[in-house]
Every structure is written in C-alpha cells, then in structure tokens.
Structure 1
Amino acid sequence: MSPTSQPTIPRVALVTGTSSGIGEAVVKHFCHLGHQVLAVDYNPDGKAIADAAGAAFFEADLTGADACRAAVAEAVKRFGHLDILLNNAGIQHVASIEEFPEAKWRQILDLMLTAPFLLTQAAWPYMRKAGWGRIINIASVHAQVASPGKAAYISAKHGMVGLTKTAALEGGALGITANAICPAYVKTPLVDNQIADQARMHGMEEQEVIEQIMLKNAAIKRLIDPSEVASLAAYLASDAAGAVTGASWNIDLGWTAQ
C-alpha cells in the first residue's frame, strides 16, 4: 500500500465526491499511480482539482438516477472501459430523530446508498465483460457502530456494507471484488462542518466535541489524514488484492477494538 508503488496495469477509475477530502486524495493518488481517472462531483470547483491531478472531471448530482448512469457512460466514452468504481460522495446532517427533516433523510439515502447501487449496477457489465473489476465503497466507522444525531448517515453507511457484501458474492466468479473502507473521523471539510452542529446539539464547545465525541473511543488520539484512506483504496484497487472481497476494512484509530 505504499504511495510510491505502481499498479501492475494502469486502470480506469471512476471516483465520486472528489472536490475535497477523501475523494480528492484518492484522485491524486490514483493519478500518481498511473490510473486514468474520472472525478465526479456536483461542485464545479472540483474541475480545478481534477485538472491539477491529471484527471478528467464530470459534474453531476448523483441523487438522480440518470446522473449516475451518465457518469459511468462518460467514463467509458472517455477511456473505453471502466475497471474501478470508488463510491465516496456523501453529506452530513446532525439532528435528533425527532427533529430530523424528511427531505434531508431522503437526500442522504439517495446520495449515499442508492447512488452507489446505481453506479455499481451501471459499471457491472463493463467489469463482467473484462473479467476484472474493483468496487470500493467508502463507508465509515459508523457502518459498524452508531452515534446520536446521525440517523440518516448511519443508516446509509450500514446499508453500504450490505451492498458491498452482496456485490462481493455476485462478483466473485466474474473477477469483480467489492470491499468497504470504514474510517473514523477524517480531517475533511465534511467533518469540520459538523463540529459546530455537534456543539450546538450537545451544548459543548467545539474543542470539546473533538475531544469528547470524535476522539473519545479512539486509541490513537488524532484525526485521520485523507491520504491514509487513499493508500488503502489503492491497495484494494490493485491486482495484489484479488483475493480480498466482501470485507469491511476498519481504519478507525482503534475505535472498534473495544
């Protein structure tokens, strides 16, 4: 999983949620390894990030089914095939179940569970035809455990692990692997933006949120760097990981060791 290791064969990868955080780190790392990458994000600012990394960019709101299919079609149009699908796009909303807006629930589930399913479904025929494919779903430590105030996010991430396992079983005979990566809190804008929400919900100072909520259950008391997740994704996307499928890879600072 060294950042300097090279893939056996450069592949074509579609990565979602690429304008910041984990997705941005994956795009940069995959391009460094020689992969051809289509970076997909609803934020047009993602184009500059993709251009700087050497990736192509496709602007899309993946809460729509047509946009998911269009993203896969764009990757195949540009590069001729599709080998790696990394589902990362996500949003967060912090509120109690009693106060959680139905519209926000639906948006989060559409983006973080339905979209990965539709993208996988659209990519599947190309991977099956090639006899080789890698599906990598960025889940979360919250795919393993729950926390208050995150009903939609946690439901989506738990569902993503189920989707990963099903894809692994269906893809095994076809040369397609599927794995989930389950990080604890990563130093990303998504995490930064929810600190204030958590502080309001729990009546805490923002630094207390980091110490008493985000890092409370961690053995290693720090946030994860996005590049650490990207390195694990690169391994799972490689030929070396051909025997690895249906697994949830915890990169959680020891959170679930208790």
Structure 2
Amino acid sequence: MLVPLALLLSTTVFRRGRFGGVVYEFTTENFERLLDPLYLGVVVDSLKIATLTTLIALLIGYPTAYVIARLPRKWKTVALVAIVLPFWTNFLIRAYAWIMLLSGPGLVNSALKVFGLGPIEVLYTQGAIVTGLLYSYLPLMVLPLYAAIDRLDPQLTEASANLGASGFTTFRKVTLPLTMPGVLTGSLFVFVPSFGNFVIPEMLGGSKSIMVGNLIRDQFLKARDWPFGSTLALALIVVLVVLLVAQSWVARRA
C-alpha cells in the first residue's frame, strides 16, 4: 500500500511529458490546476451525488435492517441472502441491466405509460447515476445496520416504553444512539465507493455527468497526464482520509 502511495505522491510535483508520461522537473502547476473551477466543479458534483446516494441508502437501509433483525431466526438467513444476492452477479451486467430498464423503451417507461405518466428521460442523468450507485451499494448499508440492530438489547426499548416514552422518542433516544456505529460504518461503506466510482457514471450518466473517478481515469488513459491524474487521485485520498477521521471521532463520541 505504501509503495503505490509514495509513487503517486512523488508524481504530483513533476510535469507531463510532451507525448505523455512524466518529465522529472519540479512544479506546483498540478496543484494550481486542481483549484480550477472546472475541476472543483467535478469534485463538488461527485460529493453531492455520493452524499445523496448515501442518504437515500440510509433511509432505505435502516428500516430494512430493522425489519430483518426482528424476523424469526429462520427467516433472517433468507432475508440476508436476498440482500447480498445481487453481489453474485457481475457488476457490469447489473449496470447494463439498468441501461435496459431506464432507456426510452425500457421497463420503467413502459410501466409509466400504463398509468399515463411517461415517458420520462431518466437514462444519462444524475438521477440514473444515483439509482445505479444505490442499487450497487445498498447491501453495504444494510449489513452493518443489521449487525448493530441485532445486537441491541430489547429490554432497553421495553424499559423506555414502560417509562412512558413514545415509539418515536424511544427510537430517537435509545435505538438510534445505540446503533450509531452501524449508521456510520454503513454510510462510509456506501459513500467511499460511490465517490470514486467511474463505471456507473460512465454507463448511466453518459457524457453529461462526469465524476472525479472518470476524471482521474481520463487523465491516466486518455490525456496521458499522469502527474495531474496523480494529483486528482491524491485529492480523492485526502477527502476519504478526512471522512475516516471524522467517522472515527463521531464513533468515539457516540
């Protein structure tokens, strides 16, 4: 891990060769380019999409995990297998499936036409990207939440109810704080791969939406600007490290 990171870090302070590659002349130009509004806009859009995906995954994943944790033991296994079942299929196949679902003559628009609501343009939008990321990483939200909720002592919620607390108050003051480590872990598991993903934006977002993962990929493989690609990758790593530190701090406080 350290050797690739060291190579990445060292490349950020050199110039791009005329025909690609690296020219070992010291420069700070790559970091100055990083502050260009064009690239900052890509990073901000990536943060928005990853944050929205994480929030929706949490809103769907928490009640799902709660229901699974309250199922009889024999049905818990069935439900958990159903949650991880998509991982048994190739990632690209799942992405291509969403193209077929969200395209103009796809299943989604066909269903909307039945109710007189369609067709709508979903494919090659940020909404399609969020949908693809959500479908891909929702299990990574459900599983940590299920582990946290399943360990919760039911006597605590019973005691809260016996003391006169409403269901919402019990959830807000007992259940949610005690399951906060699962919330933080699941959110991190969804946000990190969503932020750096480039396959889903490429296939479902088209050329209209570019995320930081696509930008890094293009710098290395298309523009052949390895120093600037390394600088972008370093910025991505810094953001993720900050998130890890924040998650650790909040987990200790919780």
TM-score tier, shorter chain, comes to under 0.3
The structure in which a higher percent of residues are strand is 1
Structure of higher CA gyration radius: 2
Provide TM-score, normalisation by structure 1.
0.24
Higher relative contact order at CA 8 Å, sep ≥6: structure 1 or structure 2? 2
The structure in which a higher percent of residues are helix is 2
